Structure 1
Amino acid sequence: MTTLVAQLARFATQTRFEDIPANVVQEAKRLVLDSLGCALAGADNPKGHIGIEYGRLMGGQGNATIIGTTDRVSIFGAAFANGELINALDMDAVLPPGHVTPYVLPGALALGETLGASGKDMIRSIAVAHEMSWRLGKAMDYLRDTQDGKVSPPPVFGYSSTIFGATAAIGMLQRQSADVLAHSLGVAGSIAPVHSQIPFFRHAPSTTIKYLMAGVLVQSAMTAAHMGQLGHRGDLHLLDDAEHGFPRFIGTRRWEPDNITRELGTRWGFVGEQAYKPYPHCRILHAPLDCVREIVEKHDLRPDEIDNINVLVEGFVEQPVWLNKDIRHVHDAQFSIAHGIAMGAHHLTPGRDWQDPQNVFSPSVLALMEKVTHEVHPDYVKALTAHGSARPTKVEIRARGKTFAAERLYPKGSPSPDPASLMTTEELVQKFCHNAERVLSPRAIDGVVNAVLDLDQTRNFAEVMIRVARDRR
């Protein structure tokens, strides 16, 4: 019997650019553009800044760009820093099992730039990494699994399974054979970081490494790929042995390997669930933020006019990281319900400004926080069971002696039955431009957008990455 690891390795190495559907090619480009913008916006955030500094420490001399800086370091330093930068504002793309891109993209960016990979090879590696991560996510526990009409979150959860997609992307760019890549993937599963996300939810103030430090997983994937290439033997049976292997030691209660292999190589499923984030805030609050911004902009409400904001939101938020009102660090503002809603009512364009300490700790924002209340939406389990993108929300704002209301079923950025919820490429370009405007010149911004949207025509990916170095203006 061919092991699951071997099947994944064969999928990665046998996928040609010509085999990838046009919509998957386009999605890979969108992911690159969105991620580069998130990284540029994150350069001054504490998490992003620390990532840059550590990337410099470990980087040495090299040809890989730390996004938003003038630094050219080793692939290891750049990959670590860029993973942290992409995830710094929590504005990066989301895909089951959760955040995927800040883990699977940075190694490919650094290696692709250093090796001078073609744009088509970059698209191959990015598409495979996301598809593999999505399939593994579908085989394991999910945060919004339901049982007996209730959401049943797992006691152990995290994004460590993205190490397989991250390692595959690196191995593909290294031209590893299927046999070698299988050993790289076997090593990857054996050194995957622990699943520590549930304590992140349960403890407030929460750790600033979040659910899983992106730079650490990226380095684990780098290690795995290089160990396979240098001759280490990996555990090829790691995914087949549910009793002793990866499913057991990573803590998943559910293991459905058919979701990994069904139509592998012929059907690309990740595109149908790939979502983008308009706001630098946990995805849980995006539908409520859509409602808040609709109300305050439609009626031109000032924060000091608002008497109360009541939010009906999904029940999963009844945990300390979202209930927290003790905002000590800008990181706390990415998850607090009260703070996020208060920020959303302040007419600030979503992006780095939402993480600016002057805004995070603004007396106006902190005062409005105290006027925010929330309840669990009574239909959220029913809606979620009907469609995975559903996040039923209702917001009521009392101001000027009136009550203003708005409702959403699907947050902006998610593929759903409502075409309006999809984030178009034009909207992603606008998001990128706003995120990049304080780091790059308008001309440089246009250059990045054009280069990424024409990525399949690029002969040397280094030409793209050099464009996201900080302008010497």
Structure 2
Amino acid sequence: MHRQLLNELTAFAADTRYEDLPERVVEETIRIILDSIGCGLAGVTHRRGRIGVDHGRAQGGDAATILGTGERASVMGAAFANAELINALDHDAVLPPGHVCPYVLPGALATAEALRLTGKDLILATAIAHEMSNRIGKAMDYLRDIIDGQVSPPPVWGFASTIFGATAAVARLRGVSPDQMRNALSIAAIISPVNSAAAWRQHAPATTIKYMLGGWLAQGALTAAQMAELGHRGDDDIFDPEFGYPRFIGTRRWQPENALRGLGTDWIFPRESSFKPYPHCRVLHAPLDALTEIVTAQNLRPDEIEEITVWVEGFVERPIWMNNAITDVTDAQFSIAHGMALGAHRFASGPDWQRPENVHAPSVMALMERVRHVVHPDYVKSLLADGGSRPSRVEVRARGQVFAAERSHPKGTGAPGSATFFTTPELVDKFLSNAGHVMAADRAQALAEALLNLPGVADTADLMRCMGPQ
């Protein structure tokens, strides 16, 4: 089946046309691009984002735009910088196997701009990248895999497999032949980053690179596509489970049928994507929704709160989520106690959550000590019934009373029309809030409207030039 997988992924990436995309796929792709660019614009306020910009700028060139800066760099440099910017705040969309857009969009953005391609070209490439990344992720270990009735996080884990979707997007935009596409995907496997995220999860304080260096993967995809175009040959047996990608990337589980089932006809990424209201690890979003309901309804001040108890998923009992030693603002993106303390302060969602003066505020650090977490007793049963569920409960003791709220799903999930669905107007509000940290409100509004009308954009270079502060 390993050759069949490479063959069908190649055909999907090389043959799918914009006209083949269902309306829902086009809509969700536009929403993801809008949200990701907004996160990237806001990312310039974060130290990690600025490091990415500095590294991208140092690579010279002026072919493509670095988000939020008004600066240009080579395609390689801009892709590196934008990958780091989009994920800097951890505010970007989530799609199994985890984060996808920070890795697959930056190379596509830079390539489309450099080649002066259309908005439809960018939508098609981004949709292919998300669908492929989601499907290959389903063939491999997942962070919430359940073994013998228990959630069993894999010992080797990460988002390295997004390099296939990232490479497919770039290669498609470059107009390679089917044979070159096949070679590009195989080369992508050969030069894939390792899956190092388990080390990050188990160590505290952890590396500020987080899951992996997104800019490095984005550049790897650009390299794989160009090497195939220049004539390098891939390996037809690269998905061989004994010696190929499944073995050397470290997955315990390899079920390629999950990647192939309905490929090209049943688009699954739109119904599995979720958007993040808070710039914090997604596992805390349902509890944060519940906490926000309580503190808003009761108009609670942080100093009135005697204790916060939060019921969470059991697999988060790892050092990265239980860390109370917040030495860098990136640490604040994952700590359960710190995240609940921030939420109780009702800072505006976005960069304000990760400004050093807020992260290390005495009142936040003090409240952190009054937060405790408990494993939700129903989380395994709930996951087995609905993979998108996140059963959560929050109790706040204040004013001599206990206030409680519960959630089954976090905001940002669900089908259109559901209570938790992130509507397009809500995404626009999030975009305007994020973009407003680097540009005037009228320019941010105009940019949002242009992105929502991406199918009508004749030249993405004109659009990308609007991504700076002036």
TM-score range, shorter chain: over 0.9
The CA distance in 2 between the partners of 1:232 and 1:436, in whole Å, is: 41
Cα-to-partner distance string for 1:257-307 (whole Å, 9 max, x where unaligned): 111111211111111100111111000100110011110011100000000
In the alignment, which residue of structure 1 is the partner of 2:316?
Answer: 317
Cα-to-partner distance string for 1:197-227 (whole Å, 9 max, x where unaligned): 1111100001001011110111111110110
Inter-CA distance 57–213: structure 2 relative to 1 (3 Å threshold): same
By how many angstroms is 1:236 displaced?
A: 2.1
The CA distance in 1 between the partners of 2:91 and 2:84, in whole Å, is: 12
The CA distance in 2 between the partners of 1:460 and 1:236, in whole Å, is: 36
In the alignment, which residue of structure 2 is the partner of 1:20?
Answer: 21
Secondary structure class of the residue paired with 1:135 = helix
Task: Check conservation: 1:338, 1:369, Cα contact below 8 A.
Answer: yes
In the alignment, which residue of structure 2 is the partner of 1:159?
Answer: 159
In the alignment, which residue of structure 1 is the partner of 2:384?
Answer: 385
Secondary structure class of the residue paired with 1:95 = coil
Cα-to-partner distance string for 1:328-373 (whole Å, 9 max, x where unaligned): 1000100111100000000211100000011000001001000101
In the alignment, which residue of structure 2 is the partner of 1:462?
Answer: 461
What does residue range 85-124 of structure 1 map to in structure 2 within 5 Å? 85-124=85-124
Q: Does 1:55 align with 2:42?
A: no
In the alignment, which residue of structure 2 is the partner of 1:409?
Answer: 408
Secondary structure class of the residue paired with 2:419 = helix
In the alignment, which residue of structure 2 is the partner of 1:185?
Answer: 185
In the alignment, which residue of structure 1 is the partner of 2:38?
Answer: 37
By how many angstroms is 1:6 displaced?
A: 2.6
1:52 is aligned with what amino acid? Answer: V
What does residue range 421-460 of structure 1 map to in structure 2 within 5 Å? 421-460=420-459
Secondary structure class of the residue paired with 1:308 = strand
Give the TM-score normalised by the residue count of structure 1: 0.98
The CA distance in 2 between the partners of 1:398 and 1:418, in whole Å, is: 34
Contiguous gaps of at least 5 residues in structure 2? none
- Identity of paired residues, percent? 57
The CA distance in 2 between the partners of 1:260 and 1:314, in whole Å, is: 27
Secondary structure class of the residue paired with 2:325 = coil
In the alignment, which residue of structure 2 is the partner of 1:354?
Answer: 353
In the alignment, which residue of structure 2 is the partner of 1:194?
Answer: 194
What does residue range 47-446 of structure 1 map to in structure 2 within 5 Å? 47-58=48-59, 60-239=60-239, 241-415=240-414, 419-446=418-445
1:158 is aligned with what amino acid? Answer: G
Task: Check conservation: 1:133, 1:161, Cα contact below 8 A.
Answer: yes
Task: Check conservation: 1:447, 1:467, Cα contact below 8 A.
Answer: no
Alpha carbon RMSD of aligned pairs, Å? Answer: 1.1
Task: Check conservation: 2:70, 2:467, Cα contact below 8 A.
Answer: no
Task: Check conservation: 1:75, 1:107, Cα contact below 8 A.
Answer: yes
Between stretches 306-315 and 7-16, larger displacement belongs to 7-16
By how many angstroms is 1:416 displaced?
A: 5.9
Secondary structure class of the residue paired with 2:345 = coil
Contiguous gaps of at least 5 residues in structure 1? none
In the alignment, which residue of structure 2 is the partner of 1:9?
Answer: 10
Secondary structure class of the residue paired with 1:394 = strand
By how many angstroms is 1:470 displaced?
A: 1.8
The CA distance in 2 between the partners of 1:127 and 1:236, in whole Å, is: 25
Task: Name the count of aligned residue pairs.
Answer: 469
Secondary structure class of the residue paired with 1:94 = coil
The CA distance in 1 between the partners of 2:262 and 2:346, in whole Å, is: 46
Task: Check conservation: 1:66, 1:73, Cα contact below 8 A.
Answer: yes
By how many angstroms is 1:418 displaced?
A: 8.3
